[in-house]
Amino acid sequence: MAREVSTGTCEHCRQHFGYWLLHCGFSDSIYASCDLCGKTAVRSLRDKRMPILQNCPVHQEMSSGMEPYLTPCDCGGNFKKGSKPRCPHGNNNLSAEFASSYLERNAPGTQRGWRWQRDWSGLYCIVVEDKWIESNFG
């Protein structure tokens, strides 16, 4: 998976970190963050192990119905709907609204009108400091 790493800033500690965005429509995937460390789990909708669930949206954050099908994070936490990406320095939740300042500044599409979705549940997910796992089926 090709990634272009950019630099963000934590609104709590003001330290910098690397990140990349994943467009879940282009990658045909869904995602969730770990409730303890903020690591991102990305699940391909093309994977034959993907359960078919009713009321489970695609190309965005996973529904809570998908949680039992995920293996726990290696930190001991769980990938859950509503969990937020976290600062790799202080482990504070990152604000999607605050993130718009660096996401839009760093995105080449901003010059053509692209704007950040301003939430952690939409089409784009963020991977901080390359902390992610792909297709972690339980």
**CB burial class (10 A; 0-12, 13-18, 19+) of residue 121?**
middle
What is the per-residue pLDDT for 111? 94
Mean pLDDT per block of 10 residues along the chain (138 residues) reads 85 98 94 97 88 84 92 96 97 98 96 96 97 82
Q: What is the pLDDT of residues 88-103, one digit of tens each?
A: 999 999 999 999 999 9
pTM for this predicted structure: 0.92
**The pLDDT value given to residue 48:** 85
